[in-house]
């Protein structure tokens, strides 16, 4: 082998070595680049995973806080449930007790108009003494007498007999079944009219309209309570509904339908209700509305009774 051929072989070998080195360097650079990309992706994925974990942890923390808040609220409510519920229930279903109506009983009187019976209440109006009742009690056609007798107890417990004259009746308006008649004593030398009980007229008037479901006590002398003696009867119920209070009936306020038992003889008495824990005068029982199976009493709204618009 001559010198030229040896040089050629050496040169060729050098080229092969250089090429192999270039390829090796290229593949190393490429590998390193891919490795960096993979590492970057892995780091990004890990960072994203960490962020997702943190978001989940934050959500769990928020949920824990909400549960803790709810638990605290439930614990607080558990320490004071009865008082709150009882107070609301008492306000809603407030009843009228016998002790509350006891001071008013002497102010409700029986009216005997020639054996036509009804009820009334005693009123002091500007220093004069009257009986307020239904107009149909004292003016019933052929049964109408010139006067009606009224037994009444004074505040000291003494029983006296008084009279009203049917021709002396007046009223605040012509649309209500109401008559107001001046009270007279049969014993003019000792009338004792000023010792009777006029608390009914002094009661606050119920706001109008009262809410449905409000308690009602009707006081009067129904026919079923009349036997050998005359008995004042108290019946209780609620306001069941409303009727009237429009331009057509000429009165500005609705009257009341009540579940308290009302019968013949109750007419002209009083209906008591309760507002803000105090008794109030609801109105005057007037008549009974008869249904197929049940009867309902109608009470003239006291604001209609006292209405002086016409």
Q: What is the pLDDT of residue 294?
A: 41
Contacts of 87 (CB under 8 A, 6+ apart): none
Over residues 156-172, mean pLDDT: 89
CA-CA distance, 75 to 242, in Å (whole number)?
A: 44
Which pair of structure tokens corresponds to residue 51? Answer: 């962020």
Q: What is the pLDDT of residue 47?
A: 66
CA-CA distance, 131 to 18, in Å (whole number)?
A: 135
pLDDT of residue 213 exceeding 90, the answer is yes
The answer to whether 249 and 301 have CB atoms below 8 angstroms apart is: no
User: Domains of the chain: which residue ranges?
Assistant: 1-79, 98-305
- pLDDT bin (cut points 50, 70, 90) of residue 113 is confident
Phi-psi label, residue 126: left if phi above 0, alpha if psi -120 to 50, beta otherwise: left
What share of the chain in percent tops pLDDT 90? 37
> 165 burial class (0-12, 13-18, 19+ CB within 10 angstroms)?
middle
- pLDDT bin (cut points 50, 70, 90) of residue 290 is very low
Considering the domain delimited by 98-305, tell me its CATH architecture.
Answer: Beta Barrel (2.40)
pLDDT of residue 74 exceeding 80, the answer is no
């Amino acid at each position: 082998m001559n010198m030229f051929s040896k040089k050629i072989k050496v040169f060729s070998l050098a080229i092969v070595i250089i090429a192999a080195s270039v390829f090796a360097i290229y593949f190393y650079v490429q590998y390193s680049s891919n490795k960096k990309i993979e590492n970057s992706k892995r780091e990004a994925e890990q960072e994203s995973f960490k962020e997702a974990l943190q978001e989940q942890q934050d959500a769990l923390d928020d949920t824990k806080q909400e549960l803790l808040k709810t638990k605290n609220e439930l614990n607080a409510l558990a320490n004071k449930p009865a008082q709150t519920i009882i107070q609301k229930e008492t306000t809603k279903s407030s009843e009228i007790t016998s002790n509350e109506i006891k001071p008013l009983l002497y102010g409700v009187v029986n009216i005997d108009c020639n054996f036509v019976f009804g009820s009334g209440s005693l009123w002091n109006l500007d220093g004069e003494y009257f009986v307020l009742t239904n107009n149909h009690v004292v003016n019933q056609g052929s049964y109408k007498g010139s006067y009606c007798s009224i037994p009444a107890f004074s505040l000291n417990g003494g029983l006296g007999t008084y009279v009203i004259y049917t021709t002396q009746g007046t009223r605040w308006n012509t649309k209500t079944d109401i008559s107001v008649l001046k009270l007279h004593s049969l014993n003019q030398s000792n009338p004792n009219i000023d010792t009777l009980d006029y608390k009914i007229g002094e009661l606050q008037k119920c706001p109008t309209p009262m809410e449905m479901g409000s308690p009602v006590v009707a006081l009067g002398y129904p026919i079923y309570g009349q036997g050998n003696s005359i008995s004042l009867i108290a019946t209780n119920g609620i306001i069941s509904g409303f009727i009237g209070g429009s331009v057509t009936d000429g009165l500005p306020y609705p009257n009341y339908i009540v579940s308290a038992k009302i019968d013949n003889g109750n007419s002209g008495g009083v209906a008591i209700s309760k507002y803000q824990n105090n008794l109030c005068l609801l109105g005057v029982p007037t008549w009974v509305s008869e249904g197929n199976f049940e009867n309902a009493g109608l009470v003239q709204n006291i604001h209609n009774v006292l209405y002086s618009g016409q």
